[in-house]
Chains A and B, each alone.
Chain A
Amino acid sequence: MLKKKQLEILLCRAMRSEADFAEIFEEETHSESLTQLDDNVENISRSVRAGAGIRLYKGTSSVYGYTDEMEMSVLEEIIDDLREAIGRKDEGKIVELEEFHMAENISPIDVDPFETEDAKKIELLDRSIKAARETDERIFKVSASLSSVHQDVQIANSDGLFVGDVRQRSRMAVSAYAREGANVQSGRCAPGSCRGLDQFVGATAPEESGKEAARVALVLLSAKPAPSGVMPVIIDNGFGGVIFHEACGHLLEATGVAKNQSVMAGKKGTMIASEKVSAYDDGTMPGEWGTQNIDDEGNPQQKRLLIDHGVLTSYMVDRLNARRMGEVSTGSGRRESYKYEPTSRMSNTFIAPGTDKKEDMFKDIKFGLYCKSMGGGSVNPNTGEFNFGVNEGYLIEDGKITDPVIGAMLIGSGAEIIKKIDMVSDNLALSQGMCGSISGSIPTNVGQPAIRVSSITVGGTDNE
């Protein structure tokens, strides 16, 4: 990592320009992944990413340069390129950095995967694969992977900020494949968090993940084609929260809002959702998958109340977009690595528990869809049009859960759908995902209690 004196020299050089702000984000990230298929460890891969991203602002324009060549001469060349782009000057602010400090680590880990021998990690994979295979003889193949990341970052800026942080996370993913005749289906379970290997106990023990992946694959073997059309839908907790993530979360990111490229721009203080809906983006939950001690601009993470009983109360805002919007950063500046300029992103985003009971949600539905678990989705923030895939779905007929269905996709317009949430239950759970946007792929939690949407378009293959 660069020393204080070096950073001051670089920041002073950067400020000898039209820039009114300069920042250097440096990281060294170690990643490892072990994958196993049935009894065979197929691959062990390790990598090191190490470099720096340098950013200069002039008003609401920004210039960004990054490199993994950490010699001062290369960094100075990059800075000179940026000064050229933003407007070079001979004089500028003299930057003096505060004393370096580490951000308080709210997610310390017990068993560090990088200090654990491979055999112990392979044992975890073995246990999950064995449990999945023992579920049923129709499970013919199981793969599992264990991925861990250790990121050290250091952020310094022309306001004098000089802070370091450590981010660690591990995730285990199990995929089970089931076969009956020519019908092959798969199921997946992939728990993870900002904790060490000690997290894989209890509900997230390797055996539980293996069994869950196998259970889903087996259910899908007997599933029939999903219906198409408009119908009421109940989306269960955990990864079901991807509906809020896609249909609303992305629309509340300053990335789109600041440039008037989100359907939620200009709606603060207004009713945008059903009054049953309150929602948070909370980066401060210890150990959670989307948690950070500080964001990637060095600001403390926050718990943000996005929607309060249907009323839009806050956007998620990064430093540059705060300037565009005349607001302050909400500590939401995130990036995959030094190769990306940060922008506003989600952390742990969820719909707060309501007072309805899950069992009451089904009663008055004559024909609908129950989504026990969801796949991923995507959204166009400009129009709010979103989609997400149903991983494990069942028909609801005359108030009861009946046959499993396969191949359902839910689509709609975000602004409309969140108004149609007419019941919110009390069984909040979070689930892990990787979220992609202009600043790369980052870990985020989605979450919700079971919710009911009064009507949504379901796309399936059955048109009868």
Chain B
Amino acid sequence: MNKQAWIDRAKELGLEGLEITQTRSQSRSLSWFEQKMHTFTTSRVLSTSLRAMADGKIVSTAMEKICDEDMDTVLQSLKDSATSIAATEKDVLVGPMETEEATSTKTWKEADASQIKDVLASLEEKLAKADERVSQVKGLAFESAKVSRELTNSLGTTIADAYQYQLIEGEIAVKVDGEIFDDYLIKVVPDLDAFDQEAFVKELTDKVIARIGAKSCSSRACKVIFRYDAMSTLFSCLEGMFFGSVIARGISPLTGKLGEKVFSDQITIIDDPRNTDALFLQNYDDEGTPTRTKTVVDHGVFDLILHNTKSALKMGAESTGNGFRSGGGATDVSSMNLYIEPGSNSFDSLLKKMDNGVVITNLAGMHAGIDFVSTNFSLQAQGYLVENGEYVRPLTLITVAGNFMDLMNHVEAVGDDLRWETRSTSAPSILFEEAAIGGNE
């Protein structure tokens, strides 16, 4: 693709600007089941996104099949679409901007297929033998990907960067008295030579064994700890409330509340695309704006709306460098490494503080059980029943329900256990005054 020719032609056709982003991704994954390679997947994909400006508005398209001969048809179609879009939808392309780039602290050592097979085979053997109750090693997989991005626009902005990752995933089931309990574990593996197989086996087996005998409980309203994993899941489903695009539409619970106290003063929320502990580090968003670390909620006060160029224009603000793509050609507001700042309480001290209540460790049904506008939620959950500050028994087939805004205003204590692993939105364990637990006992 001759990018300069596209940019020049766009100008001749009367477009006010053109941005071309090409993303090249290569991935490999190898899965293992019953002592042999189960699947092997390899890929090479080059996708091109165009954002064209006409009439003060931006129209986008994403194409996996692009050739210079199609230039006029594609550009004309973008220009035509712009005329149908409302005049209120103004947007701008981003000119070159200086920023001091952060660099990832992770160094990746690529593993070859035979080494991957050896590790997975050995993990399978160790997991099967780890405990006599393990009934099946459901699957093991090693996955790696490399992604590079090149952004060029008619204002002279050029950005080229890349990232990569390698992961190991494992899933096992245990069977006790005819009942099956299962769970999985994913670990980021920068260097397979340094991967601690024993630690992986222990963590996964412990996780599943702790579930043995899980049953429901009676319905109750009680103190609840959302453990870091469940808390991260719930928080990530509702993070859109901080996005300028959602606030401008008037459907965020935080619309009109900038500068107001919206959560408990124990809650501070930060968006940090340059966080080196997280899996992905981004120095620029997908619109070419440099990213930065920023406090979104400061001790309960809603301090900053996350913006891309379009939502910023709508609300009379500056882009915060939060314009990202989630597939397709268009960019929209998105967080990047958003987290609730950890407190000083260890998980054990949270249990002691709670005394009696329920710990939630897993949530399911997020796409059906959360009403984004009211922030009411009712979700399938797993966890533990806690009495006198200690786990009494594992729980499954329970529901946990409440209102997120309400919950975040009734925080008793925030844990110190923030973990990133593969997440791009994270939270530590949090003890809340009350949530509704539903069960069938």
Which residues does A use to contact B, with CB under 8 Å? 28, 34, 37, 39-51, 61-70, 74, 78, 81-82, 84-86, 118-119, 122, 140-141, 143, 177, 183-186, 226, 228-230, 259-261, 263, 339, 341, 374-378, 380, 382-383, 385-389, 406-409, 411-413, 457-463
Contact present for B380 and A119 (CB under 8 Å): no
Q: Which residues of B contact A380 (CB under 8 A)?
A: 182, 364
Contact present for B368 and A409 (CB under 8 Å): yes
Across the interface, A184 reaches (CB within 8 A) one of B47, B173, B374, namely: B374
Look across to chain B and name the residue whose beta carbon is closest to the beta carbon of A28. B65
Q: Which residues of A contact B59 (CB under 8 A)?
A: 44-45
Q: How distant is A21 from chain B, measured CB to nearest CB, in Å?
A: 14
Q: Which residues of B contact A388 (CB under 8 A)?
A: 365, 368
Across the interface, B398 reaches (CB within 8 A) one of A82, A141, A339, A459, namely: A459
Q: Which residues of A contact B42 (CB under 8 A)?
A: 63-66, 78, 81-82, 85
Given contacts A229-B219, A375-B369, contact A409 B399 (CB under 8 A): yes
Q: How distant is A438 from chain B, measured CB to nearest CB, in Å?
A: 10
Dominant secondary structure of chain B at its interface with chain A: strand
Contact present for A62 and B440 (CB under 8 Å): no
B14 is an interface residue with CB less than 8 A from chain A? no
Q: Which residues of B contact A259 (CB under 8 A)?
A: 33, 138
Number of B residues near A (Cβ < 8 Å) is: 75
Contact present for B380 and A411 (CB under 8 Å): yes
Given contacts A387-B369, A407-B376, contact A457 B438 (CB under 8 A): yes
Task: Across the A-B interface, give the 4 residue pairs with the lowest CB-CB distance, nearest first.
Answer: A459-B399, A459-B438, A389-B368, A387-B380
Contact present for A387 and B368 (CB under 8 Å): yes
For B38, B59, B399, B402, which residue has the most chain A Cβ atoms within 10 angstroms? Answer: B399
* A217 CA to B207 CA, complexed, in Å: 41
Contact present for A40 and B368 (CB under 8 Å): no
Contact present for B84 and A118 (CB under 8 Å): yes
Look across to chain B and name the residue whose beta carbon is closest to the beta carbon of A459. B399
Contact present for A85 and B40 (CB under 8 Å): yes
Which residues does B use to contact A, with CB under 8 Å? 30, 33, 36-47, 59-66, 77, 80-81, 84-86, 88-89, 113, 136, 138, 173, 180-182, 216, 219-221, 249-251, 253, 328-330, 364-365, 367-369, 371-374, 376-380, 396-403, 436-440
Look across to chain B and name the residue whose beta carbon is closest to the beta carbon of A434. B367
Given contacts A177-B373, A407-B377, A409-B379, contact A48 B63 (CB under 8 A): yes
Contact present for A40 and B40 (CB under 8 Å): no
Contact present for B378 and A409 (CB under 8 Å): yes
Q: Which residues of B contact A49 (CB under 8 A)?
A: 64
Contact present for A230 and B440 (CB under 8 Å): yes
Across the interface, B47 reaches (CB within 8 A) one of A68, A378, A387, namely: A68
* A251 CA to B285 CA, complexed, in Å: 41
Contact present for A406 and B376 (CB under 8 Å): yes
Contact present for A457 and B63 (CB under 8 Å): no
Q: Which residues of A contact B138 (CB under 8 A)?
A: 259, 261, 382
Look across to chain A and name the residue whose beta carbon is closest to the beta carbon of B33. A259
Contact present for B399 and A65 (CB under 8 Å): no
Q: Which residues of B contact A406 (CB under 8 A)?
A: 371, 374, 376
Across the interface, A408 reaches (CB within 8 A) one of B64, B219, B251, B378, namely: B378
Q: Which residues of A contact B330 (CB under 8 A)?
A: 43, 45
Contact present for B77 and A46 (CB under 8 Å): yes
* A40 CA to B80 CA, complexed, in Å: 16
Q: How distant is A250 from chain B, measured CB to nearest CB, in Å?
A: 13
Look across to chain B and name the residue whose beta carbon is closest to the beta carbon of A463. B221
Look across to chain A and name the residue whose beta carbon is closest to the beta carbon of B47. A68
Across the interface, B65 reaches (CB within 8 A) one of A50, A82, A229, A412, namely: A50
Contact present for A460 and B436 (CB under 8 Å): yes
Contact present for A68 and B45 (CB under 8 Å): yes
Q: Which residues of A contact B329 (CB under 8 A)?
A: 45-47
Given contacts A61-B36, A378-B364, A382-B173, contact A44 B81 (CB under 8 A): yes
Contact present for B397 and A411 (CB under 8 Å): yes
Contact present for A185 and B378 (CB under 8 Å): no
Q: Which residues of A contact B249 (CB under 8 A)?
A: 37, 141, 143
Contact present for B86 and A48 (CB under 8 Å): no
